[in-house]
Amino acid sequence: MATTSPLTPESVAFYNALEAVNAIEPRIADAIRAELADQRESLKLIASENYASPATLLAMGNWLSDKYAEGTIGRRFYAGCHNVDTVESIAAEHAAALFGADHAYVQPHSGIDANLVAFWSVLAQRVELPALQQAEVRHVNDLSEEDWARLRRELGNQRMLGMSLDAGGHLTHGFRPNISGKMFEQASYGTDPETGLLDYDAVRETAREFRPLILVAGYSAYPRKLNFRIMREIADEVGATLMVDMAHFAGLVAGKVFTGDFDPVPHAQIVTTTTHKSLRGPRGGMVLCQQELAEHVDRGCPMVLGGPLSHAMAAKAVALAEARQPDFQTYAQRIVENAESLAEELMRRGAKLVTDGTDNHLVLIDVTNYGVTGRQAENALLDAGIVTNRNSVPRDPNGAWFTSGIRVGTPALTTRGLGPAEMGEIARLIDVVLTETQRAPARDGGLSRGKHLLDEKIAGDVARQAGDVLAGYPLYPTVNLG
């Protein structure tokens, strides 16, 4: 399929924008053009990445970027924000309708910011009534340091229970490198050592022992669905708030692939997400919540957020409008079908997969069978034009830096139109690279955990074959920069 004429609206818009940038700083214009070329030529299998539409991308580059708009709709700390109010209202309207949520807050700049808003909102809701009664103040933001210290003691030191990192959890779920690990006393639940699947009875037992204030469900590298009805039952039993981080699988919820017990929105009091990944929007975050938390969530700025990025909210509105179209449901279903096909072909070739497959958008390969670490596998695949990322596997002997796994995902390639047949060929190429990769010698006479050896001819052959797979599925076919 050939690219279209440069006279399409998208071509004209991007060409002229880059010409304007080039006139000021040509190195930036060159880097932007190079990024488009790189994305067009590589097999993007990063599970957390996608391709936003031209309309979404164009919505970010405009005069909305110039506005300060701290506060929220109708309650700004700056004048002249009526257009920002319109943009934020439209984005929130689409988000609430798309996910069936009571309330949507579209200001967070990232998934981490969305989680911080959620954490502080839950804390504010939990402490507000007794705290206000005892301290005789009008709002939780007016509490003194002494009030907060007392409340932390009463709440059991703000405990959080979430999925462990090696089982597929995320740093923002209470781990020490992230601020959440300093805000909360944290405990983790893992997966079954034999199956790699989440053991809900074990989660319940841990929750009963730990008594968390917040039970976090969600993942960044768990290749299965979660039952949110059961997670809510566990949370209710111990008096916890159920928070779901659906950043990775939001597109599968929006696309009605995850429904019933597997849709977090009807079950969790508060849900966070990014707006890129499987949702295919701009980089950013979002919070959905039940009505009783809405007032607290809307105080995200200035509570923990800086000024809203109005141009990003405009792009979110466009992407959310796209996700409400019927063809998005077809897209979401194809994401899962492609992941299942990729997993099946990898296993047929002897690859070891965590949980022996997938029923979402990602596949986690344990590369131990290939005799390499995750870092070596990641770099070898990159040499061959296949972009993945290393990832820990449960009870990983190589730790979080070198790892023993590779995480691959299908949202981006599904956006380009690739299907199960192409997934089979991609699985073959992955297997070829990993089979031919070796650990490089280390200085101490052993084998390196970071450096790898891969014949340049093999890497080049695979890269050409990967290019052949992509040839029939051009990226941004309506964009021709000349």
399: left (phi over 0), alpha (psi -120 to 50) or beta: left
Q: How far apart are alpha carbons 197 and 211 in whole angstroms?
A: 23
In DSSP terms, which residues pair with 198 in a beta bridge? 191
Residue by residue, DSSP assigns 299-333 as THHHHT--S--HHHHHHHHHHHHHHTSHHHHHHHH
Q: How far apart are alpha carbons 462 and 338 in whole angstroms?
A: 20
> Cβ distance 305 to 285 under 8 Å?
no
Residues labelled as active-site residues? 68, 70, 245, 274, 277, 283
Residue 210's identity, in one-letter code, is: F
Task: Return the closest-CA partner of residue 418 out of 343, 357, 348, 469.
Answer: 469
> Cβ distance 201 to 256 under 8 Å?
no
Residue 393, classified by CB atoms within 10 Å of its CB into exposed (0-12), middle (13-18) or buried (19+), is buried
> Cβ distance 391 to 364 under 8 Å?
yes
Helix/strand/coil percentages in the chain, nearest 5? 50, 15, 35
Residue 414's identity, in one-letter code, is: T
Q: How far apart are alpha carbons 454 and 436 in whole angstroms?
A: 6
> Cβ distance 299 to 126 under 8 Å?
no
Parallel/antiparallel/unpaired status of strands 362-366 and 447-453: unpaired
> Cβ distance 259 to 99 under 8 Å?
no
Q: Write phi, then psi, for 388 (nearest 5 degrees).
A: -135, -175
